[in-house]
Amino acid sequence: DAKTTQPNSMESNEEEPVHLPCNHSTISGTDYIHWYRQLPSQGPEYVIHGLTSNVNNRMASLAIAEDRKSSTLILHRATLRDAAVYYCILRGGAGANSKLTFGKGITLSVRP
């Protein structure tokens, strides 16, 4: 099964950039890399996804390594509201429910 590994936690200062890493060394050619975040007492929220090229949206940027075995979610200016658990998962492949697995994610703390 193609799985992802992330550090358990990271800390950041408010208004500074944050780089959240994810390793997925067994990724297959059809897998998209997805990031979600979960605020306390809420359901996970979609952040961004990509296949090969770097992606930007209003929430974050996704940098994907050339060999696709790792990726980094970039929050350009962390705010206190960005304190959450961030999950990196792989999606793709017909009928493969293993591609729907969420690990424990990275718990991001933001210091004022």
Partner 1 sequence: NAGVTQTPKFQVLKTGQSMTLQCAQDMNHNSMYWYRQDPGMGLRLIYYSASEGTTDKGEVPNGYNVSRLNKREFSLRLESAAPSQTSVYFCASSERQGFGNSPLHFGNGTRLTVT
Q: Which residues bind partner 1 (CB under 8 A)?
A: 30-32, 34, 36, 42-46, 49, 51, 87, 90-97, 99-105
Distances (CA, A) of 18 to 1, 40, 51, 110: 29, 19, 21, 10
CB of 33 to partner 1, least distance (A): 9
Least CB distance to partner 1 at residue 7 (A) = 14
CB of 43 to partner 1, least distance (A): 4
Cα–Cα distance list, 53 to 32, 40, 56, 60, 105 (Å)? 11, 31, 10, 14, 23
67 or 100, CB closer to partner 1?
100
Judged by phi (left if over 0) then psi (alpha if -120 to 50, else beta), residue 23 lies in beta
Minimal distance, residue 71 CB to partner 1, in Å: 14
Cα within 13 Å of Cα(40), Cβ side: 5
